[in-house]
A and B are shown apart, each in its own frame.
Chain A
């Protein structure tokens, strides 16, 4: 008879060690999308917006030293684990998992469908060392690896700032990274996939937003909604100066909407949209 295999929170918990140097772990707490607010209040909305399945929180304690907390999220898919990791990209690359940052006593990384936050309540040289060791141990215990969202393939590589790419489904998260409008004028509605990327421009930075909808009709509606609210006096594909001597332009192609914000010139905005369109057509995913 075979042994039952761990699954869900038990499997996730099995990736976290029971001690971290002299720190010993306390009992795990387990939360899902309905109970996460009991643990981190409104911050839970970020993880819910990425479709979190459950969270295993394990606190490590050592008298006289700051507590260390491991928050391990099962996001259900590698795309959403990557996405929630991109919510906060500030910090130094810690070379852990499939992408990581470290800053101010917080190590974040993703691997497969998991997102990990390893956190010291106060940063010291010792806690920093311990956090990095814990992260390496957990990452090594997670057996698989995941794919980044397919949508990232629609980002033209020229001038792309690879470390500043965000993936999300929600207009509040879009506004967190780049305020577009108070309302959900792009109709993301928690059902679309969206990627926002920074591009180097002469004298600044432009943004490219690409949104994937369920079908071309949904994309067409979203494009019309965006045009009506944001640039009612411009036709699709044409650029519009937005008052800061920068240019915005958008295009609907199949089930995708692409928008360039803050381009240095109208021609530059149009060229980037052309490049996105070529990538869509090359993948034949816009139909």
Chain B
């Protein structure tokens, strides 16, 4: 078997060494492919954030609606949602309950409302994070909506949409090998395979750097006030990652790599074929507030 590892020297051949751990250097992995682009929508709103870290519920609903309309290409938001969710679906909204930056109830309820508008009864919708394997609705789910915040992460580089499904595994720690390189393989488990209809990466107050065991300091968050929405979790994650990297450059004044290489995002594409990580193959639609966009 011939396996050639990527070393620091490979990066030095294509660029300066500084951004190597975070930038992923897609050119090393494969040439750009000519396939059609995947759409990612970034929507932002300058309205103030509440104490829970989200804008007011009506603002979040409007942001989500605008994003889904732009993603699907239908001016009628309910019609757009009906292309994602069927009335007979059983829907799990996979959220994230991290103490410091959760998905937020505003985002969860905005999604739930539109799932119900698509014709799904409330008794066939559940919102859960750590209890998904025991949740009877998730056990019967035919459709999943994946919603979580973007943050830097002590071991996987960033915690974002791909990683959010780790709670569908009975032993999450079993996926930590090689700094979480193969997280995308979780998406092949029967609990989730082929069920994800929409991904919502919450960028209200992203964490771009972490300290200590809890990997959190308010100093390393900022009010970006955005949502990234896509059917492709890899494309959404790599878009969020680019914003995190741009913020780190702005804050630290250099291309400081993330503390761990978030290579699971690129590997989700190149090794596991879950989605698209090459920015050249992503159609990024930007809506709303443009100040401090960073991308």
Contact = CB atoms under 8 A, between A and B. Distances in A.
Contacts of B179: 45, 172, 175
B5 A229 contact: yes
B213 A47 contact: yes
Interface in A229-253: 229-231, 242-244
Nearest to A120: B217
A43 B5 contact: no
Given A105-B217, A176-B260, A244-B17, A42 B155 contact: yes
Given A37-B172, A172-B260, A243-B12, A185 B5 contact: yes
A105 B217 CA distance: 7
Given A42-B155, A179-B21, A230 B9 contact: yes
B26 to A, nearest CB: 14
B6 interface: yes
A123 B217 contact: yes
Contact of A123 (B13, B16, B100, B219): B219
A104 B172 contact: no
B114 interface: no
A181 B261 CA distance: 11
Nearest to B4: A229
Contacts of B216: 121
Interface in A192-248: 229-231, 242-244
A7 B136 CA distance: 43
A71 B5 CA distance: 37
Interface string B133-154: 0000000000000000000011
B49 to A, nearest CB: 15
B194 to A, nearest CB: 26
Contacts of B260: 172, 175-176
Interface string A109-142: 0000000010101110000000000000000000
Interface string A134-176: 0000000000000000000000000000000000000010011
Contact of A242 (B8, B215, B220, B257): B8
B273 interface: no
Contact of B261 (A71, A175, A231): A175
A6 interface: no
A64 B159 CA distance: 30
B120 to A, nearest CB: 31
A179 B180 CA distance: 16
Contact of B218 (A43, A45, A71, A122): A122
B173 A37 contact: yes
Contacts of B218: 105, 121-123
A245 to B, nearest CB: 10
A183 interface: yes
Interface residues of A, number: 39
A119 B214 contact: yes
A108 interface: yes
A229 B5 CA distance: 7
B219 to A, nearest CB: 5
B6 A43 contact: no
B215 A40 contact: yes
A257 interface: no
A45 B173 CA distance: 8
Nearest to A240: B9
A88 B215 CA distance: 11
Contact of B214 (A40, A45, A181, A183): A40
Nearest to B263: A182
Contact of A179 (B159, B215, B257): B257
Contact of A104 (B3, B98, B100, B220): B220
Contacts of B261: 175, 179
A222 to B, nearest CB: 14
Nearest to B156: A42
A246 B98 CA distance: 43
B212 A108 contact: yes
Contacts of A179: 8, 11, 17, 20-21, 257, 261
Nearest to A243: B12
A226 B81 CA distance: 53
B9 A243 contact: yes
B211 A103 contact: yes
10 contacts: A42-B153, A43-B214, A88-B211, A104-B219, A119-B212, A121-B100, A172-B155, A175-B179, A179-B8, A181-B7
Question: 5 shortest A-B CB distances, which residue pairs?
Answer: A43-B154, A243-B12, A42-B155, A183-B5, A104-B217
Interface of A: 37, 40-47, 69, 71, 88, 90, 103-106, 108, 117, 119, 121-123, 172, 175-176, 179-183, 185, 229-231, 242-244, 261
Given A37-B172, A71-B214, A179-B8, 4 more contacts: A40-B213, A43-B153, A121-B216, A182-B6
Interface of B: 3-9, 11-13, 16-17, 20-21, 98, 100, 153-156, 159, 172-173, 176, 178-180, 211-220, 257, 259-261, 263
